[in-house]
Chain A
Amino acid sequence: MLAEMIQRLFERQLTDAAQARARAGEWLPDLWAEVTEMGLPLALLSEDEGGFGLSPAEAGEALRQLGLFAVPLPLAETMGANRLLAKAGLPLADGPAGLARADHLTVQDGRLQGEVARVAWGEQLDCLAVAVGDQLYRVPRSGWRVSEPGTALNFHPRPSLAIDWEIEASAPLPHCPLAEGSTLRAFQIAGALEAALDMTLDHTATRVQFGKPLQKNQVVQHELAKLAGELACATAAADLAAEALARGEVLGVAAGSLRAREAAGAGAAIAGQMHGAIGFTREHRLHLYTTSLWTWRDEFGGQVAWAKLLGKAALGAGSAGYWPMVTDL
């Protein structure tokens, strides 16, 4: 199974030392070569498009692995960009790719110009799949320069890119890159929360205070139960978003995105509290997950923007239309 292959790859190749290098902003070419070797950048494509033709459950399992290992590569973005490019009939990425919506870019005299803010690993990308209005553009690396450095809460690069590119490849936009990216982030959040729960179970089983493992305290057990609840919600939220994305319904993407993002914050807080002071350090691996959860929950459309989109539809449905809207999500 693909998820198990991904798991074995990262267990073997993604060392704590590599995580530390990525946190310093260093690109990990060997790790990228490994994921390319495995074909992961094209994993979400149908077999006709040159992909794996995964079932929704298989795709979800695979994407959660990216969160379970806090993978310090723009792999989810590349998988999403390729899915969008394939659907649009544009050439696929030859390497790591970015995914963005930037309606403020200008299209004039055959040139695409303007700034795309905070693109994950922007300096390292082969191409950028960027939506402007209802068009999707495939901008190659030669089409931008870094205009401003930027850093995510997990210390991975988020530079802003100044685009100035003579348009070669564009096509009608199949679906919104924000919906694509936010759905992928929901799976990463679910994976990271599972890792956080595993670590918290392990820590509270082995850490002894007052003569007994922390886990023997009922108050600790109840916090673990709450964390499991947030994990369940994030997992279901990601699945909900993915199904809605496949149907082309943005409200379901909004619902799944919002609940996963809420779980990211709530879950990180519980895991941190249950670890005590050691969980606040870089000595313990928990920070890889807490800082990534805080990063991912604010990307590809903010929480406010997604909430307003869904809330506006809810209020517009009125009291008679509200429940039918919920059952359609």
Chain B
Amino acid sequence: MSKIPFPAPPADSDAVIALRSEFRAFLNAQLADRNARQRSDNWYGYDRAFSRAMGQAGYLGMTWPKQYGGHERSAFERAVVVEECLAAGAPVGAHWIADRQSGPSIIKFGTEPQKQAILPGIAAGELSFGIGMSEPDSGSDLAATRTKAVRDGDVYRVTGTKVWTSFAHEADYVILFCRTQGTPADRHKGTSQLLINLKETPGLTIKPIIDQAGQHHFNEMHFEDAVVPAQMLLGEEGQGWDQVMSELAFERSGPERFLSSIELLLQLVEVLKGRDSDAAQITLGRVTARLAVLRRLSRSVAGMLQNKQDAGLQAAIVKDVGALFEQGLPDIARELVDCEADPRAAGAYSAVLANIVHNAPSWSLRGGTREILRGIIARGLGTR
């Protein structure tokens, strides 16, 4: 395909095949007590003990240099661990952001002391990160950021508000996207990134934002003349926009963009057992085909990233098509099985369906809305 190539991912190496079976055994042992409803939290499950176990077993920071606690394995080996975690409904929330994007950003832009202070902690499953991008007046329009960091001797003084920060009430750090020069009218110019220690920043208050499912993932972070040491600047002052775009590229093409409702699909297979009508077979066949093809597209992007190719456009396509798939599963299930979903049900199917229906709307919002992604794809096609 000439316009938007998705090169064939390489066949699984022996190392990848061995890793998959070794890691499935690890997950089986770790998750024996986790019920279907808990598994359906997918990457919103948060469990420090599980993340530490992942770190101790060498499954975090997998592609990073050994000198920072990493394991120098391939992007494909990491992809195996990531997709197996999601398919099994492992509670990956305590390391997810750090392992996926914050750590790689620090490797790319951080100072040597920052790398030494933070990366080994992430790889050990000890340090947890959140994302500090969106604001009340700048969601999709990230360049309109208002949060201001003013240099004052050895510190920055930070004032502003960030929202939708998943697990800010639990995590240790966020990478804050903010303005060090000018005003929101300057758009992407004058923006920077700061590493914020959530536990030790005077002037920072964190308040919960409860979502429509009644769950507390999101938070509001309010900075009121908060004091941040100048050595916590990530990368260069004024280069925040390029850095944050690079961070987003780590965020968009992974299997979390189509596996969010996988537990519902597994429970559907369970419920249909023994009563597999023609309709059930046909529907499961079509769903499985979509899933297999999405997985291939995502693996293709992993291959491009491994080869240091720019895959921003491909990643946007995977996320757009992937969100439609994972959001479509509740209605597909409802066409096959009658069930009044109940968020507090004891039965697995009803409780999982409830959790998925409640959370699905967020999947085409987080990480770039459907509308933003389609704009990126259209621009990639040369329309503007």
A residues whose Cβ falls under 8 Å from a Cβ of B: 56-57, 64, 190, 194, 197-198, 201, 204-205, 215-216, 218, 221-222, 224-226, 228-229, 231-233, 235-237, 239-240, 243, 252, 254-259, 262, 304, 306-312, 314-315, 317-319, 322-327, 329
Can you show 10 pairs from A to B with CB atoms below 8 A apart?
A231-B4, A233-B290, A233-B294, A236-B297, A240-B292, A258-B285, A310-B288, A315-B280, A318-B273, A323-B87
**B1 close to chain A: CB less than 8 A:** yes
Residues on the B chain within 8 Å of A216, using CB: 384
Residues on the B chain within 8 Å of A204, using CB: 383
CA distance A233 to B284 in the complex (A): 18
Residue-wise, chain B 7-37 has the 8 Å CB interface mask toward A (1 for contact) of 1100000000000100010000000000000
CA distance A232 to B5 in the complex (A): 8
Q: Within the complex, what minimum Cβ distance (angstroms) separates B377 from chain A?
A: 4
Q: Within the complex, what minimum Cβ distance (angstroms) separates B126 from chain A?
A: 29
Can you list the 6 inter-chain pairs with the closest CB atoms, starting with the nearest? A311-B285, A307-B285, A311-B281, A221-B378, A258-B289, A225-B377
Contact of B289 among A215, A262, A327 (CB under 8 A): A262
CB pair B285 A308 closer than 8 Å: yes
Residues on the A chain within 8 Å of B269, using CB: 314-315, 317-319, 322
CA distance A257 to B262 in the complex (A): 22
Known: A255-B293, A314-B288, A315-B273. A201 touches B381 (CB 8 A): yes
**B382 close to chain A: CB less than 8 A:** yes
The residues in B between 103 and 140 inclusive whose CB is less than 8 angstroms from any CB of A are none
Known: A197-B3, A229-B320. A326 touches B266 (CB 8 A): no
Interface of B is mostly: helix
CB pair A319 B288 closer than 8 Å: no
CA distance A234 to B222 in the complex (A): 46
Residues on the A chain within 8 Å of B321, using CB: 229, 232-233
CB pair A64 B1 closer than 8 Å: yes
Q: Within the complex, what minimum Cβ distance (angstroms) separates A268 from chain B?
A: 17
Known: A215-B383, A221-B374, A308-B282. A229 touches B317 (CB 8 A): yes
Known: A194-B1, A201-B381, A315-B269. A256 touches B374 (CB 8 A): no
Residues on the A chain within 8 Å of B286, using CB: 258, 262, 307, 311
**B200 close to chain A: CB less than 8 A:** no
Known: A216-B384, A225-B378, A232-B4. A304 touches B276 (CB 8 A): no
Residues on the A chain within 8 Å of B78, using CB: none
Residue-wise, chain B 353-384 has the 8 Å CB interface mask toward A (1 for contact) of 00000000000000000010111011011111
**B92 close to chain A: CB less than 8 A:** no
Contact of B382 among A201, A229, A310, A315 (CB under 8 A): A201
Residues on the B chain within 8 Å of A240, using CB: 292-293, 296
CB pair A237 B289 closer than 8 Å: yes
CA distance A64 to B5 in the complex (A): 13
Closest Cβ neighbor of B296 among chain A residues: A236
Residues on the A chain within 8 Å of B383, using CB: 201, 204-205, 215, 221, 224
CA distance A215 to B266 in the complex (A): 41
Residues on the A chain within 8 Å of B81, using CB: none
CB pair B289 A310 closer than 8 Å: yes
Q: Within the complex, what minimum Cβ distance (angstroms) separates A17 from chain B?
A: 27
Q: Within the complex, what minimum Cβ distance (angstroms) separates A264 from chain B?
A: 13
Closest Cβ neighbor of A215 among chain B residues: B383
Known: A233-B297, A258-B289, A262-B289. A57 touches B374 (CB 8 A): no
Residues on the A chain within 8 Å of B314, using CB: 232
Q: Apart from A232-B314, A310-B289, A315-B272, what 19 extra A-B contacts exist at CB < 8 Å?
A: A197-B3, A215-B383, A215-B384, A221-B375, A221-B383, A222-B378, A225-B378, A233-B297, A235-B1, A236-B296, A255-B288, A259-B292, A262-B290, A304-B282, A307-B286, A310-B284, A310-B288, A315-B281, A322-B266
CB pair A307 B270 closer than 8 Å: no
Q: Tell which of B8, B270, B280, B296 has the most Cβ of chain A within 10 Å.
A: B296
Q: Tell which of A216, A235, A262, A314 has the most Cβ of chain B within 10 Å.
A: A314
CB pair A322 B293 closer than 8 Å: no
CB pair B272 A224 closer than 8 Å: no
CA distance A228 to B83 in the complex (A): 25
CB pair A232 B384 closer than 8 Å: no
**B295 close to chain A: CB less than 8 A:** yes
Q: Within the complex, what minimum Cβ distance (angstroms) separates A51 from chain B?
A: 20
Residues on the A chain within 8 Å of B293, using CB: 233, 236-237, 240, 255-256, 259
CB pair A326 B288 closer than 8 Å: yes
Residues on the A chain within 8 Å of B154, using CB: none
CB pair B284 A311 closer than 8 Å: yes
Q: Within the complex, what minimum Cβ distance (angstroms) separates A8 from chain B?
A: 15
Q: Within the complex, what minimum Cβ distance (angstroms) separates A105 from chain B?
A: 27
CA distance A255 to B289 in the complex (A): 4
Contact of A236 among B87, B280, B284, B300 (CB under 8 A): B300
Closest Cβ neighbor of B295 among chain A residues: A326
Residues on the B chain within 8 Å of A243, using CB: 8
Residues on the B chain within 8 Å of A197, using CB: 3, 381
Residues on the B chain within 8 Å of A233, using CB: 290, 293-294, 297, 321
The residues in B between 289 and 314 inclusive whose CB is less than 8 angstroms from any CB of A are 289-297, 300, 314
Q: Within the complex, what minimum Cβ distance (angstroms) separates B20 from chain A?
A: 7
CA distance A272 to B376 in the complex (A): 23
Q: Tell which of B2, B7, B270, B281 has the most Cβ of chain A within 10 Å.
A: B281
CB pair B284 A314 closer than 8 Å: yes
Known: A262-B289, A310-B288, A319-B266. A239 touches B272 (CB 8 A): no
Residues on the A chain within 8 Å of B8, using CB: 56-57, 239, 243
**B265 close to chain A: CB less than 8 A:** yes
Q: Within the complex, what minimum Cβ distance (angstroms) separates A183 from chain B?
A: 14
**B218 close to chain A: CB less than 8 A:** no
Q: Within the complex, what minimum Cβ distance (angstroms) separates B235 from chain A?
A: 31
CB pair A229 B285 closer than 8 Å: no
Residues on the A chain within 8 Å of B273, using CB: 315, 318
Residues on the B chain within 8 Å of A57, using CB: 7-8
**B68 close to chain A: CB less than 8 A:** no
